[in-house]
Structure 1
Amino acid sequence: MRKLIYTFTVSLDGYVNDRKGSIDWSEPDDELHQFHNDRFRELEVSLHGRRLYELMAEYWPHVPADAPPILQDFAALWTGKRKVVFSRTLTDVHWNSTLVSENAVEEVRRLKAEGDGDMEVGGAGLAASLVPHGLIDEYQMFVAPVVLGGGTPMFPSLDSRIQLRLVETRQFATVVFHRYRTA
């Protein structure tokens, strides 16, 4: 069965973007960007909510030829990676993507059962629909030293707690990485 990983850069107070939707406070340096590239390279499938897909599709397929190699590498990874995009409003997707407009929970259960590699979920809204169903196997947080005071929270409100086990930490120049598995 595939493992589903929920990953985000998050503010110290738990937000993935600020009140205006901006993520300009989370710009990775080269070391962190390389870590993201290497991690993304290992994934079989990347699950995207509509907003994240649109954000990524606006930039990564159009990286200039003179961009730094680390950016070109991620652009090639992102456009080539198998993606499943969950949206009720999009009518088409590109760059090795499949569009799913109904029942994200059931589709993710099916995707988990069809393989044995790793998948990631990107997009706080999509993740919020999966977390209460126990579909996330691992949480990866890149905690940035900023307090935003509002925005989109990484975690939805829950009826019961989720017990986690810390399995890895790593300090980068700009963030601290925490990796947790469900207990």
Structure 2
Amino acid sequence: MKKLVFGINLTIDGCCDHTKGTGDEEIHEYFANLIREADVLVYGRKTYELMVPFWPDIAKDLSGPTKSINDFALAFDAVDKIVVFSHTLDKVENPKVEVVNTDLKEEIIKLKQGEGKDILLGGVDLPSQLVALDLIDEYRIVIQPYIVGEGRRLFDDVNLLEKLKLELVESKQLKSGAIALHYVKNPRS
């Protein structure tokens, strides 16, 4: 069974607004490696529209300002399939993209039952819904060494029936002072 892995970049104060933090060579490399471990990317419409066509366009001509950005773009573009959950996006022209507007839980369970590499989840709204549905298996969170004091916070809108216990299986300090944390969901007793 495939794992659903949520990856995100945050500031120390929990801000997940991509315009507030900063990415560097090592962070792009970290997330490129994470994408290489997946064969399906799952996004909501907003995150999808931030990622596409931006990263595929960079991958076409390697127009990023750094090697790590170009490597990230190539890793992103090499993924087999992108699933976009949306009630407002009808369809897209890219044959690798599937737009889904049916039951979220049912569709994620179907994806997890498939063969292959992991499923990588990004964004904020969709992951919040999947946390509440208890469908995320792993969390890859990079904490940036910044306090921005404003902006959207991760999991602000999550409503859990009970506390979700995670187990830290790895932590890595990056040269920038960012910390990459890898958590797995503890099985419930």
Q: What is the TM-score when the length of structure 1 is the normalising length?
A: 0.88
User: What's the CA shift for 1:116?
Assistant: 5.1
Judging changes above 3 Å, is the alpha-carbon distance between structure 1 residues 166 and 57 closer, same or farther for their aligned structure 2 residues?
A: same
1:66 and 1:136 mapped to 2: Cα distance?
Answer: 34
Where in structure 1 are there 5+ consecutive unaligned residues?
Answer: 18-22
Contact 2:47 2:122 in 1 (8 A): yes
The verdict on how the C-alpha distance between 1:145 and 1:117 changes in structure 2, with shifts beyond 3 A counting, is same
User: Where does residue 91 of structure 1 map in the other structure?
Assistant: 90
Q: What TM-score do the two structures reach when normalised by structure 2?
A: 0.85
Question: How far is the alpha carbon of 1:54 from its aligned partner?
Answer: 0.2
1:34 corresponds to: 29
Q: What's the offset of the Cα at 1:95?
A: 6.1
Q: Could you say which residue in structure 2 is the equivalent of 1:48?
A: 43
For the 8 Å contact 2:83–2:100, the answer to whether it is kept is yes
- Residue equivalent to 1:78: 76
1:11 counterpart = 2:11: yes
**Structure 1 position 149 matched with structure 2 position 149:** yes
Hey, what does 2:138 align to over in structure 1?
Answer: 138
Identical counterparts, % of pairs: 31
Q: Report if the CA contact (8 A) 2:140-2:182 is conserved.
A: yes
Deviations 1:67-98 (A, max 9, x none): 33332232222223111111111122326111
Name the SS of the counterpart of 2:131 in structure 1.
helix
1:20 paired residue number: none
Stretches of structure 2 that go unaligned for 5 or more consecutive residues are: none
Mapping of residues 162-181 of structure 1, within 5 Å: 162-174=164-176, 175-181=178-184
Q: Which amino acid aligns with 1:57?
A: V
User: How many pairs were matched up?
Assistant: 178
